[in-house]
Amino acid sequence: MPDITVCSLEGTYLILLDMRKCIKPELVRDFIQNKCHLAVDYGEWFGENFKGFVRLNLATNPAYVKEAVQRIVTEIGKVR
C-alpha cells in the first residue's frame, strides 16, 4: 500500500496500519468510513499516539481482506 506502514504482526490476526504519511490523522475516520466504506478499529482508541492508525481484522475470508486493501489503495489514489 502506498505510503502506509504496516506494523509488525506479533502472533495476532489484527494488523495495524499507519496512515499518517498519506492522510492527515484527523481525516482518517472520515476517509475510512465515507470513502472506503470499511469498518475498522481506529488508532486513537488505543491512545493519542495512535491517531492516524487503523486496525484491520485478518481473521476473515481472504477475499474480504483483499477488497478492503483495494478500497484503501484506490481511495488514496483519488486524494493525491
Q: Which of 71, 69, 70, 78 is nearest to 17 (CA)?
A: 69
DSSP 36: I
**pTM here?**
0.86
Q: How many structural domains does the chain have?
A: 1
CATH classification at residue 73: 3.90.1150.10
Q: Which amino acid is at 46?
A: F
pLDDT in tens, 3-42: 888 888 788 899 999 999 999 999 999 999 999 999 999 9
CA atoms of 73 and 75, how far apart (whole Å): 6
pLDDT in tens, 33-72: 999 999 999 999 999 999 999 999 999 999 999 999 999 9
Which domain covers residue 19, as residue numbers? 5-79
